[in-house]
Amino acid sequence: MWQVYALLASLFAALTAILAKIGIQGQGIDSNLATGIRTVVILVFIWGIVFATGTMTSIALLTAKNWIFLILSGIATGLSWMFYFHAIQLGPVSRVAPIDKLSIVLTIILAFVILKESVSWHVVIGGFLIASGVLCMLWK
Protein backbone atom coordinates (compact mmCIF):
# COMPACT_ATOMS: atom_id res chain seq x y z
CA MET A 1 0.00 0.00 0.00
CA TRP A 2 2.93 2.36 0.60
CA GLN A 3 3.63 2.33 -3.15
CA VAL A 4 0.16 3.73 -3.86
CA TYR A 5 0.73 6.51 -1.33
CA ALA A 6 4.16 7.22 -2.84
CA LEU A 7 2.66 7.50 -6.34
CA LEU A 8 -0.07 9.82 -5.03
CA ALA A 9 2.61 11.93 -3.31
CA SER A 10 4.45 12.14 -6.62
CA LEU A 11 1.29 13.19 -8.48
CA PHE A 12 0.45 15.90 -5.96
CA ALA A 13 4.07 17.11 -5.86
CA ALA A 14 3.90 17.57 -9.64
CA LEU A 15 0.62 19.44 -9.32
CA THR A 16 2.14 21.56 -6.55
CA ALA A 17 4.84 22.81 -8.90
CA ILE A 18 2.45 23.64 -11.73
CA LEU A 19 -0.20 25.26 -9.51
CA ALA A 20 2.45 27.23 -7.61
CA LYS A 21 3.98 28.59 -10.82
CA ILE A 22 0.55 29.74 -12.00
CA GLY A 23 -0.16 31.19 -8.56
CA ILE A 24 2.95 33.37 -8.43
CA GLN A 25 2.69 34.72 -11.95
CA GLY A 26 1.95 38.41 -12.12
CA GLN A 27 3.28 41.74 -11.01
CA GLY A 28 5.00 41.84 -7.64
CA ILE A 29 3.90 38.44 -6.30
CA ASP A 30 6.56 37.57 -3.73
CA SER A 31 7.52 33.90 -3.46
CA ASN A 32 7.73 34.13 0.35
CA LEU A 33 4.17 35.47 0.50
CA ALA A 34 3.07 32.60 -1.73
CA THR A 35 4.86 30.11 0.52
CA GLY A 36 3.16 31.67 3.56
CA ILE A 37 -0.29 31.35 1.99
CA ARG A 38 0.37 27.77 1.00
CA THR A 39 1.63 26.98 4.50
CA VAL A 40 -1.54 28.34 6.13
CA VAL A 41 -3.66 26.20 3.80
CA ILE A 42 -1.59 23.13 4.67
CA LEU A 43 -1.77 23.96 8.38
CA VAL A 44 -5.57 24.16 8.37
CA PHE A 45 -5.90 21.10 6.12
CA ILE A 46 -3.61 18.82 8.12
CA TRP A 47 -4.90 19.86 11.56
CA GLY A 48 -8.42 19.26 10.24
CA ILE A 49 -7.38 15.72 9.36
CA VAL A 50 -5.70 15.22 12.75
CA PHE A 51 -8.82 16.28 14.64
CA ALA A 52 -11.23 14.47 12.29
CA THR A 53 -9.35 11.18 12.67
CA GLY A 54 -8.94 11.54 16.43
CA THR A 55 -5.16 11.15 16.32
CA MET A 56 -4.60 14.26 18.44
CA THR A 57 -4.68 12.05 21.55
CA SER A 58 -1.37 10.41 20.61
CA ILE A 59 0.45 13.74 21.06
CA ALA A 60 1.11 12.67 24.66
CA LEU A 61 3.29 9.84 23.33
CA LEU A 62 5.81 12.23 21.79
CA THR A 63 9.18 12.34 23.53
CA ALA A 64 11.56 15.31 23.65
CA LYS A 65 13.56 13.64 20.87
CA ASN A 66 10.39 13.29 18.75
CA TRP A 67 9.60 16.98 19.26
CA ILE A 68 13.13 18.13 18.43
CA PHE A 69 13.38 16.14 15.22
CA LEU A 70 9.83 16.95 14.07
CA ILE A 71 10.55 20.65 14.62
CA LEU A 72 13.84 20.36 12.72
CA SER A 73 11.99 18.52 9.94
CA GLY A 74 9.46 21.34 9.83
CA ILE A 75 12.24 23.93 9.54
CA ALA A 76 13.87 21.93 6.74
CA THR A 77 10.49 21.67 4.97
CA GLY A 78 9.93 25.41 5.29
CA LEU A 79 13.37 26.20 3.91
CA SER A 80 12.84 23.73 1.06
CA TRP A 81 9.53 25.36 0.15
CA MET A 82 10.96 28.87 0.35
CA PHE A 83 13.87 28.05 -1.93
CA TYR A 84 11.67 26.02 -4.30
CA PHE A 85 9.09 28.80 -4.65
CA HIS A 86 11.81 31.36 -5.24
CA ALA A 87 13.45 29.11 -7.83
CA ILE A 88 10.21 28.57 -9.77
CA GLN A 89 9.50 32.29 -9.59
CA LEU A 90 12.83 33.00 -11.27
CA GLY A 91 13.08 30.02 -13.61
CA PRO A 92 11.01 27.51 -15.57
CA VAL A 93 9.37 24.73 -13.56
CA SER A 94 10.54 22.20 -16.15
CA ARG A 95 14.15 23.04 -15.18
CA VAL A 96 13.68 23.64 -11.44
CA ALA A 97 11.73 20.42 -10.75
CA PRO A 98 14.49 18.06 -11.97
CA ILE A 99 17.07 19.80 -9.78
CA ASP A 100 14.67 19.51 -6.84
CA LYS A 101 14.46 15.77 -7.48
CA LEU A 102 18.15 15.46 -6.70
CA SER A 103 16.78 15.32 -3.17
CA ILE A 104 16.11 11.66 -3.90
CA VAL A 105 19.82 11.01 -4.38
CA LEU A 106 20.69 13.08 -1.31
CA THR A 107 18.06 11.21 0.73
CA ILE A 108 19.56 7.85 -0.27
CA ILE A 109 23.02 9.04 0.78
CA LEU A 110 21.79 10.54 4.07
CA ALA A 111 19.70 7.44 4.85
CA PHE A 112 22.84 5.35 4.44
CA VAL A 113 25.12 7.65 6.46
CA ILE A 114 22.77 8.84 9.22
CA LEU A 115 20.11 6.11 9.51
CA LYS A 116 22.51 3.27 8.65
CA GLU A 117 20.02 1.89 6.12
CA SER A 118 21.41 -0.71 3.78
CA VAL A 119 21.75 0.31 0.16
CA SER A 120 21.58 -2.31 -2.56
CA TRP A 121 23.26 -2.04 -5.94
CA HIS A 122 19.79 -1.48 -7.42
CA VAL A 123 19.40 1.63 -5.27
CA VAL A 124 22.91 2.88 -6.11
CA ILE A 125 22.31 2.39 -9.83
CA GLY A 126 18.87 4.02 -9.55
CA GLY A 127 20.36 7.01 -7.73
CA PHE A 128 23.08 7.30 -10.36
CA LEU A 129 20.45 7.17 -13.13
CA ILE A 130 18.38 9.87 -11.41
CA ALA A 131 21.42 12.13 -11.08
CA SER A 132 22.41 11.40 -14.69
CA GLY A 133 18.86 12.09 -15.84
CA VAL A 134 18.85 15.45 -14.08
CA LEU A 135 22.11 16.38 -15.78
CA CYS A 136 20.71 15.30 -19.16
CA MET A 137 17.56 17.37 -18.63
CA LEU A 138 19.59 20.45 -17.74
CA TRP A 139 22.24 20.08 -20.44
CA LYS A 140 22.10 22.81 -23.03
Chain segment 27-51, per-residue pLDDT in tens:
788 889 998 999 999 999 999 999 9
Give the number of other CB atoms < 10 A from CB of residue 89.
17
Percent with pLDDT over 70 in the chain? 99
HSE (side-chain half, CA atoms, 13 Å) at 30: 4
The alpha carbon of 5 is separated from its chain's Cα centroid by a whole number of angstroms, namely 14
Q: What is the Cα–Cα distance from 25 to 39, expressed in whole angstroms?
A: 18
- Predicted confidence band of residue 126 (pLDDT cuts 50, 70, 90): very high
Is pTM beyond 0.85 here? no
Question: At a CB cut-off of 8 Å and minimum separation 6, what does 32 contact?
Answer: 82, 85, 86
The model's pLDDT over 54-95, given as tens digits with 9 standing for 90+, comes to 999 999 999 999 999 999 999 999 999 999 989 999 999 989
Alpha helices per DSSP H over the chain: 2-23, 31-53, 64-90, 93-100, 102-113, 121-138
Question: CA 38 from chain center: how many Å?
Answer: 13
Segments making up each domain of the chain, as ranges: 2-100
- pLDDT score recorded for residue 139: 82
pLDDT value for 58: 94
